Amino acid sequence: MMNGRERLFAVLNGEEVDHVPVWLLFPYHPVNYYADVKNTPRFKPVIDAVEKYGITLNRRHMGANILSPEVKVEEKHFIDNGDQVHRITYTYKGRQLFSESRRGRGNTSQKSLLDSQEDIEFFCSFPVNNDQDAIRKELDSQLPVYLKERAEFPIELGAMMLDLGEPINILYHNSNLEELAIGSIDPVTNKAITGFLDRLMENQSSVYNYCLEHELADVYFMVGSELAAPPMFSEKTFQQWILPYCRRLNSMIHAHGGKVIQHFHGAMVKTLLPYFLEMGADALHTIEAPPVGNCTMKEAFEVVGNRMALIGNIQYDDFRSFSKEEMRRAVTTLLEETKGRKMILSPSAGPYDADIPGSFLDNYIVMLETAWNFKWK
Protein backbone atom coordinates (compact mmCIF):
# COMPACT_ATOMS: atom_id res chain seq x y z
CA MET A 1 0.00 0.00 0.00
CA MET A 2 1.23 3.51 -0.84
CA ASN A 3 1.84 6.11 1.85
CA GLY A 4 0.71 9.74 1.57
CA ARG A 5 3.93 10.94 -0.01
CA GLU A 6 3.95 8.21 -2.64
CA ARG A 7 0.30 8.89 -3.45
CA LEU A 8 0.91 12.66 -3.80
CA PHE A 9 3.83 12.36 -6.20
CA ALA A 10 2.21 9.58 -8.19
CA VAL A 11 -0.68 11.92 -9.01
CA LEU A 12 1.62 14.85 -9.83
CA ASN A 13 3.63 12.55 -12.12
CA GLY A 14 0.53 11.13 -13.81
CA GLU A 15 1.01 7.65 -12.36
CA GLU A 16 -1.57 5.26 -10.88
CA VAL A 17 -2.53 5.48 -7.22
CA ASP A 18 -4.24 2.99 -4.95
CA HIS A 19 -6.54 5.63 -3.44
CA VAL A 20 -7.37 9.18 -4.48
CA PRO A 21 -5.21 11.54 -2.38
CA VAL A 22 -7.16 13.79 0.00
CA TRP A 23 -5.66 17.09 1.14
CA LEU A 24 -7.53 19.05 3.82
CA LEU A 25 -5.06 21.98 3.57
CA PHE A 26 -3.97 21.36 7.17
CA PRO A 27 -0.33 22.40 7.61
CA TYR A 28 1.75 20.32 10.01
CA HIS A 29 3.17 23.40 11.73
CA PRO A 30 1.08 26.50 12.61
CA VAL A 31 0.49 29.37 10.18
CA ASN A 32 -1.15 32.67 11.09
CA TYR A 33 -4.05 32.40 8.62
CA TYR A 34 -5.37 28.96 9.68
CA ALA A 35 -6.39 27.48 12.99
CA ASP A 36 -3.61 25.54 14.70
CA VAL A 37 -5.44 22.27 14.16
CA LYS A 38 -2.57 20.00 15.15
CA ASN A 39 -2.41 21.54 18.63
CA THR A 40 -6.18 21.90 19.10
CA PRO A 41 -7.45 18.82 21.00
CA ARG A 42 -10.90 18.70 19.35
CA PHE A 43 -9.24 18.28 15.94
CA LYS A 44 -7.30 15.18 17.03
CA PRO A 45 -9.72 12.64 15.47
CA VAL A 46 -9.43 14.51 12.16
CA ILE A 47 -5.64 14.70 12.40
CA ASP A 48 -5.53 10.95 13.06
CA ALA A 49 -7.76 10.35 10.02
CA VAL A 50 -5.54 12.57 7.85
CA GLU A 51 -2.46 10.58 8.83
CA LYS A 52 -4.30 7.34 8.01
CA TYR A 53 -6.19 8.31 4.86
CA GLY A 54 -4.93 11.67 3.57
CA ILE A 55 -1.87 13.63 2.52
CA THR A 56 -0.21 16.59 4.23
CA LEU A 57 1.53 19.48 2.52
CA ASN A 58 3.37 21.42 5.22
CA ARG A 59 2.96 24.98 3.93
CA ARG A 60 5.74 27.29 5.08
CA HIS A 61 7.02 30.75 4.17
CA MET A 62 10.40 32.41 3.66
CA GLY A 63 11.25 35.79 2.20
CA ALA A 64 13.41 38.89 2.14
CA ASN A 65 12.68 42.60 2.28
CA ILE A 66 11.12 43.56 -1.02
CA LEU A 67 11.90 47.27 -1.00
CA SER A 68 15.35 48.84 -0.86
CA PRO A 69 16.50 50.45 2.42
CA GLU A 70 16.20 53.81 0.60
CA VAL A 71 12.48 53.49 1.32
CA LYS A 72 11.98 54.22 5.01
CA VAL A 73 9.12 52.33 6.65
CA GLU A 74 7.75 53.42 10.03
CA GLU A 75 5.01 51.68 12.00
CA LYS A 76 3.14 53.42 14.82
CA HIS A 77 0.34 52.59 17.25
CA PHE A 78 -1.26 55.58 19.01
CA ILE A 79 -4.52 57.05 20.37
CA ASP A 80 -6.20 59.90 18.47
CA ASN A 81 -9.44 61.40 19.85
CA GLY A 82 -10.13 58.11 21.62
CA ASP A 83 -9.49 56.00 18.52
CA GLN A 84 -6.83 53.31 18.44
CA VAL A 85 -4.74 53.98 15.33
CA HIS A 86 -2.28 51.73 13.55
CA ARG A 87 -0.36 53.63 10.86
CA ILE A 88 2.40 52.49 8.50
CA THR A 89 4.27 55.24 6.67
CA TYR A 90 6.55 54.84 3.63
CA THR A 91 8.93 57.71 2.92
CA TYR A 92 10.92 58.05 -0.30
CA LYS A 93 12.57 61.15 -1.77
CA GLY A 94 10.85 63.37 0.79
CA ARG A 95 7.35 62.18 -0.06
CA GLN A 96 5.16 59.96 2.09
CA LEU A 97 2.46 57.35 1.66
CA PHE A 98 0.62 55.84 4.62
CA SER A 99 -1.93 53.17 5.42
CA GLU A 100 -4.07 53.39 8.51
CA SER A 101 -6.57 51.36 10.49
CA ARG A 102 -8.64 53.22 13.06
CA ARG A 103 -10.79 51.60 15.75
CA GLY A 104 -13.17 53.73 17.76
CA ARG A 105 -16.24 53.12 19.86
CA GLY A 106 -18.40 51.01 17.56
CA ASN A 107 -16.57 52.24 14.49
CA THR A 108 -13.71 50.88 12.38
CA SER A 109 -12.17 52.49 9.31
CA GLN A 110 -9.36 51.49 6.97
CA LYS A 111 -7.24 53.57 4.59
CA SER A 112 -5.24 51.77 1.92
CA LEU A 113 -1.63 52.72 1.33
CA LEU A 114 -2.38 53.33 -2.36
CA ASP A 115 -5.61 55.30 -2.67
CA SER A 116 -5.16 56.90 -6.09
CA GLN A 117 -3.49 56.49 -9.45
CA GLU A 118 -0.87 58.98 -8.31
CA ASP A 119 -0.14 56.88 -5.20
CA ILE A 120 0.20 53.72 -7.28
CA GLU A 121 2.57 55.33 -9.77
CA PHE A 122 4.70 56.77 -6.96
CA PHE A 123 4.84 53.41 -5.16
CA CYS A 124 5.91 51.77 -8.42
CA SER A 125 8.88 54.13 -8.56
CA PHE A 126 10.24 52.75 -5.27
CA PRO A 127 13.59 50.97 -5.59
CA VAL A 128 13.43 47.20 -5.08
CA ASN A 129 15.84 45.29 -2.87
CA ASN A 130 18.07 43.33 -5.23
CA ASP A 131 21.14 43.28 -2.99
CA GLN A 132 22.05 39.59 -3.28
CA ASP A 133 24.19 39.56 -0.13
CA ALA A 134 21.41 41.20 1.92
CA ILE A 135 18.79 38.80 0.56
CA ARG A 136 20.93 35.76 1.34
CA LYS A 137 21.65 37.09 4.83
CA GLU A 138 17.93 37.46 5.57
CA LEU A 139 17.17 33.99 4.29
CA ASP A 140 20.12 32.51 6.19
CA SER A 141 18.60 33.91 9.40
CA GLN A 142 15.31 32.08 8.69
CA LEU A 143 16.93 28.81 7.69
CA PRO A 144 17.45 27.21 11.14
CA VAL A 145 13.74 27.43 12.03
CA TYR A 146 12.75 26.03 8.64
CA LEU A 147 15.23 23.16 8.85
CA LYS A 148 13.99 22.33 12.37
CA GLU A 149 10.39 22.16 11.09
CA ARG A 150 11.45 20.07 8.11
CA ALA A 151 13.22 17.63 10.44
CA GLU A 152 10.09 17.38 12.61
CA PHE A 153 7.76 16.73 9.66
CA PRO A 154 7.09 12.99 9.01
CA ILE A 155 8.01 12.92 5.34
CA GLU A 156 5.88 9.84 4.61
CA LEU A 157 2.77 12.01 5.13
CA GLY A 158 3.43 14.13 2.05
CA ALA A 159 5.86 16.98 1.44
CA MET A 160 7.23 20.28 2.64
CA MET A 161 5.64 23.05 0.57
CA LEU A 162 7.00 26.59 0.26
CA ASP A 163 4.73 29.55 -0.44
CA LEU A 164 7.10 32.35 -1.50
CA GLY A 165 4.66 34.70 -3.23
CA GLU A 166 4.49 36.30 -6.66
CA PRO A 167 5.35 39.84 -7.81
CA ILE A 168 1.72 41.04 -7.80
CA ASN A 169 1.20 40.38 -4.09
CA ILE A 170 2.69 43.53 -2.55
CA LEU A 171 0.85 45.81 -4.98
CA TYR A 172 -2.53 44.10 -4.57
CA HIS A 173 -2.44 43.95 -0.78
CA ASN A 174 -1.57 47.66 -0.44
CA SER A 175 -4.01 49.06 -2.99
CA ASN A 176 -7.51 50.41 -3.10
CA LEU A 177 -8.67 47.73 -5.52
CA GLU A 178 -10.96 50.00 -7.52
CA GLU A 179 -8.00 52.29 -8.17
CA LEU A 180 -5.77 49.34 -9.07
CA ALA A 181 -8.39 48.07 -11.54
CA ILE A 182 -8.65 51.53 -13.13
CA GLY A 183 -4.85 51.66 -13.25
CA SER A 184 -4.78 48.42 -15.21
CA ILE A 185 -6.51 50.14 -18.14
CA ASP A 186 -4.75 53.49 -17.83
CA PRO A 187 -1.69 53.39 -20.16
CA VAL A 188 0.56 55.47 -17.88
CA THR A 189 -0.29 53.63 -14.65
CA ASN A 190 -0.21 50.23 -16.33
CA LYS A 191 3.26 50.94 -17.71
CA ALA A 192 4.47 51.95 -14.24
CA ILE A 193 2.99 48.79 -12.71
CA THR A 194 4.45 46.47 -15.34
CA GLY A 195 7.92 47.99 -14.88
CA PHE A 196 7.60 47.60 -11.11
CA LEU A 197 6.54 43.96 -11.46
CA ASP A 198 9.59 43.31 -13.64
CA ARG A 199 11.85 44.69 -10.90
CA LEU A 200 9.97 42.80 -8.17
CA MET A 201 10.51 39.63 -10.17
CA GLU A 202 14.27 39.96 -9.70
CA ASN A 203 13.84 40.03 -5.92
CA GLN A 204 11.45 37.06 -6.05
CA SER A 205 13.79 35.12 -8.32
CA SER A 206 16.60 35.54 -5.80
CA VAL A 207 14.42 34.11 -3.01
CA TYR A 208 13.28 31.19 -5.16
CA ASN A 209 16.84 30.48 -6.30
CA TYR A 210 18.06 30.39 -2.70
CA CYS A 211 15.37 27.87 -1.70
CA LEU A 212 15.88 25.75 -4.80
CA GLU A 213 19.67 25.67 -4.48
CA HIS A 214 19.32 24.64 -0.83
CA GLU A 215 16.76 21.95 -1.84
CA LEU A 216 14.39 23.16 0.88
CA ALA A 217 11.09 21.83 -0.50
CA ASP A 218 9.68 19.34 -2.96
CA VAL A 219 6.56 21.40 -3.73
CA TYR A 220 5.99 25.14 -4.26
CA PHE A 221 2.57 26.75 -3.77
CA MET A 222 2.02 29.70 -6.11
CA VAL A 223 -0.48 32.16 -4.65
CA GLY A 224 -1.10 35.35 -6.59
CA SER A 225 -2.76 34.63 -9.91
CA GLU A 226 -6.24 35.26 -8.47
CA LEU A 227 -5.18 38.80 -7.54
CA ALA A 228 -5.23 40.17 -11.09
CA ALA A 229 -7.90 38.10 -12.80
CA PRO A 230 -11.37 38.59 -14.31
CA PRO A 231 -13.93 39.86 -13.52
CA MET A 232 -12.22 42.75 -11.66
CA PHE A 233 -9.28 42.78 -14.09
CA SER A 234 -9.30 41.98 -17.78
CA GLU A 235 -7.92 38.84 -19.36
CA LYS A 236 -5.28 41.08 -20.98
CA THR A 237 -4.18 42.29 -17.54
CA PHE A 238 -3.90 38.67 -16.35
CA GLN A 239 -1.64 38.00 -19.36
CA GLN A 240 0.52 41.03 -18.45
CA TRP A 241 0.69 40.91 -14.65
CA ILE A 242 0.52 37.18 -13.93
CA LEU A 243 1.34 34.88 -16.83
CA PRO A 244 4.99 35.76 -17.62
CA TYR A 245 6.11 35.76 -13.99
CA CYS A 246 4.43 32.46 -13.09
CA ARG A 247 5.78 30.87 -16.25
CA ARG A 248 9.31 31.93 -15.35
CA LEU A 249 9.06 30.88 -11.69
CA ASN A 250 7.52 27.53 -12.58
CA SER A 251 10.29 26.91 -15.07
CA MET A 252 12.90 27.63 -12.38
CA ILE A 253 11.23 25.22 -9.98
CA HIS A 254 11.00 22.45 -12.57
CA ALA A 255 14.65 22.94 -13.54
CA HIS A 256 15.53 21.97 -9.95
CA GLY A 257 13.18 18.97 -9.90
CA GLY A 258 10.43 20.63 -7.85
CA LYS A 259 6.67 20.49 -8.31
CA VAL A 260 4.29 23.44 -8.58
CA ILE A 261 0.75 23.74 -7.25
CA GLN A 262 -0.93 26.89 -8.54
CA HIS A 263 -3.69 28.36 -6.35
CA PHE A 264 -6.63 30.23 -7.88
CA HIS A 265 -9.86 31.13 -6.12
CA GLY A 266 -11.26 33.29 -8.91
CA ALA A 267 -14.79 32.95 -10.21
CA MET A 268 -13.66 32.86 -13.87
CA VAL A 269 -11.32 29.90 -13.76
CA LYS A 270 -12.83 28.21 -16.84
CA THR A 271 -11.70 31.10 -19.06
CA LEU A 272 -8.17 31.00 -17.67
CA LEU A 273 -7.43 27.26 -17.75
CA PRO A 274 -5.36 27.50 -20.97
CA TYR A 275 -3.12 30.09 -19.29
CA PHE A 276 -2.47 27.79 -16.32
CA LEU A 277 -1.41 25.12 -18.79
CA GLU A 278 0.91 27.67 -20.40
CA MET A 279 2.38 28.52 -16.98
CA GLY A 280 3.34 24.86 -16.66
CA ALA A 281 1.99 24.14 -13.18
CA ASP A 282 1.80 20.49 -12.10
CA ALA A 283 -1.54 21.05 -10.35
CA LEU A 284 -4.22 23.71 -9.94
CA HIS A 285 -6.18 24.35 -6.74
CA THR A 286 -9.11 24.98 -6.56
CA ILE A 287 -11.68 24.37 -9.30
CA GLU A 288 -15.00 25.81 -8.11
CA ALA A 289 -18.34 24.87 -9.61
CA PRO A 290 -21.34 27.23 -9.85
CA PRO A 291 -22.67 29.18 -8.05
CA VAL A 292 -19.32 30.08 -6.41
CA GLY A 293 -17.23 29.60 -9.56
CA ASN A 294 -17.93 28.89 -13.21
CA CYS A 295 -16.41 25.46 -13.81
CA THR A 296 -17.13 21.91 -12.70
CA MET A 297 -14.26 19.49 -12.23
CA LYS A 298 -15.51 17.49 -15.21
CA GLU A 299 -15.47 20.60 -17.42
CA ALA A 300 -11.98 21.49 -16.23
CA PHE A 301 -10.62 18.04 -17.10
CA GLU A 302 -12.11 18.41 -20.59
CA VAL A 303 -9.74 21.37 -21.06
CA VAL A 304 -6.58 20.21 -19.24
CA GLY A 305 -6.76 16.47 -19.91
CA ASN A 306 -3.80 14.76 -18.26
CA ARG A 307 -1.48 17.74 -18.65
CA MET A 308 -2.18 19.02 -15.15
CA ALA A 309 -3.59 17.61 -11.93
CA LEU A 310 -6.70 19.29 -10.51
CA ILE A 311 -7.32 19.80 -6.81
CA GLY A 312 -10.76 20.37 -5.28
CA ASN A 313 -13.56 20.95 -4.98
CA ILE A 314 -15.91 20.49 -2.02
CA GLN A 315 -16.90 23.96 -0.83
CA TYR A 316 -15.69 24.92 2.65
CA ASP A 317 -19.17 26.05 3.72
CA ASP A 318 -20.58 22.63 2.79
CA PHE A 319 -18.67 21.10 5.68
CA ARG A 320 -20.73 23.32 7.97
CA SER A 321 -24.14 22.85 6.34
CA PHE A 322 -24.10 19.25 5.04
CA SER A 323 -25.28 16.22 6.95
CA LYS A 324 -22.93 13.25 6.92
CA GLU A 325 -25.00 11.61 4.20
CA GLU A 326 -24.96 14.78 2.06
CA MET A 327 -21.19 15.00 2.40
CA ARG A 328 -20.79 11.31 1.56
CA ARG A 329 -22.98 11.76 -1.52
CA ALA A 330 -21.15 14.92 -2.68
CA VAL A 331 -17.74 13.23 -2.40
CA THR A 332 -18.93 10.07 -4.15
CA THR A 333 -20.51 12.04 -7.01
CA LEU A 334 -17.33 14.05 -7.53
CA LEU A 335 -15.12 10.96 -7.51
CA GLU A 336 -17.38 9.15 -9.95
CA GLU A 337 -17.03 12.11 -12.35
CA THR A 338 -13.24 12.17 -12.08
CA LYS A 339 -12.34 8.54 -11.52
CA GLY A 340 -8.83 7.67 -12.62
CA ARG A 341 -7.86 11.27 -13.49
CA LYS A 342 -4.96 13.34 -12.10
CA MET A 343 -7.04 14.37 -9.14
CA ILE A 344 -6.51 15.37 -5.51
CA LEU A 345 -9.68 15.71 -3.45
CA SER A 346 -9.74 18.82 -1.29
CA PRO A 347 -11.92 21.45 0.38
CA SER A 348 -11.95 24.83 -1.36
CA ALA A 349 -10.32 26.48 1.67
CA GLY A 350 -8.33 25.69 4.79
CA PRO A 351 -9.43 25.58 8.45
CA TYR A 352 -9.95 29.24 9.34
CA ASP A 353 -11.68 28.66 12.67
CA ALA A 354 -10.75 26.31 15.50
CA ASP A 355 -14.14 26.81 17.16
CA ILE A 356 -16.28 24.99 14.59
CA PRO A 357 -19.25 22.68 15.21
CA GLY A 358 -18.67 19.00 15.80
CA SER A 359 -20.64 18.27 12.62
CA PHE A 360 -18.02 20.20 10.65
CA LEU A 361 -15.27 18.00 12.11
CA ASP A 362 -17.36 14.91 11.42
CA ASN A 363 -17.66 15.90 7.76
CA TYR A 364 -13.88 16.13 7.45
CA ILE A 365 -13.70 12.49 8.54
CA VAL A 366 -16.59 11.52 6.26
CA MET A 367 -14.72 13.02 3.32
CA LEU A 368 -11.53 11.12 4.15
CA GLU A 369 -13.24 7.78 4.77
CA THR A 370 -15.53 8.05 1.73
CA ALA A 371 -12.60 8.76 -0.55
CA TRP A 372 -10.57 5.91 0.99
CA ASN A 373 -13.36 3.41 0.43
CA PHE A 374 -14.08 4.57 -3.13
CA LYS A 375 -12.77 2.17 -5.80
CA TRP A 376 -10.47 4.61 -7.58
CA LYS A 377 -8.75 2.15 -9.92
pLDDT value of position 293: 85
- For the chain, report the end-to-end CA distance as a whole number of angstroms: 13
Are 217 and 258 contacting, i.e. CB atoms less than 8 angstroms apart? yes
pLDDT digits (tens, 9 = 90+) for 109-159: 999 999 999 999 999 999 999 999 999 999 999 999 999 999 999 999 999
What is the maximum alpha-carbon separation in the chain?
66
The amino acid occupying position 293 is G
Buried-state track 316-341, b at ≥16 Cβ within 10 A, e below 16:
bebbeebeeeebbebbeebbeebeeb
pLDDT of residue 354: 86
Rounded to the nearest 10 degrees, what angle do helices 187-213 and 177-185 cross at? Answer: 110
pLDDT at 303: 96
pLDDT of residue 340: 87
How many CA atoms are closer than 13 Å to the CA of 149, on its beta-carbon side?
22
Question: Closest Cα to residue 282, out of 313, 303, 251?
Answer: 251
* pTM (two decimals): 0.95
Below-70 pLDDT ranges, the chain: none
Which H or E element spans position 289? none
